[in-house]
Amino acid sequence: MSQQAGQDVLEVQVIQEYPDLPLPGYRHPGDAGMDVHSAEDLVLEPFQRALVPTGLRVAVPVGYEMQVRPRSGLALRHGIFVLNSPGTVDAGYRGPVGIILMNLGQEPVEIRRGDRLA
């Protein structure tokens, strides 16, 4: 993973199941969080929740965690929320990373493969 200017480097190993999808990354210089993308298409109906795969597996160093947080634009425009926010990926977890999303809006929301989720 990349680092931002002036920050210490923390090695996080990433296995990418779908090389055509972008790795998590910073959208703009100075961003605090990286964007994570959907690995599949789906439609979230109002008040439906789903575990959305990212196609990633990570090895977070012992003593650290990776947090998954909602994107404010999805929340404001569509009512999409990361249900267990902030989600935690612990250092000992090596399984696939998924994002638990819920549609708190009144309309179905289409999520496409490659969309930024969290």
In tens, the pLDDT along 14-61 reads 888 999 999 998 899 998 889 999 999 999 999 999 999 999 999 999
Any residues with CB less than 8 A from the CB of 63 and at least 6 apart, and which?
91
Residue-level pLDDT at 4: 53
C-beta of residue 32 within 8 angstroms of C-beta of residue 24: no
Minimum mean pLDDT range among 7-16, 67-76, 101-110 = 7-16
Check whether 5 has a pLDDT greater than 60: no
Give the integer Cα–Cα distance in Å for 16 and 14.
Answer: 6
Tokens, residue 64: 């650290």
DSSP 116: B
Domains of the chain: 13-111 (2.70.40.10)
Check whether 12 has a pLDDT greater than 70: yes
The mean per-residue pLDDT over the stretch 82-110 comes to: 94
pTM of the model: 0.84
Any residues with CB less than 8 A from the CB of 12 and at least 6 apart, and which?
1, 58, 59, 60, 61, 66
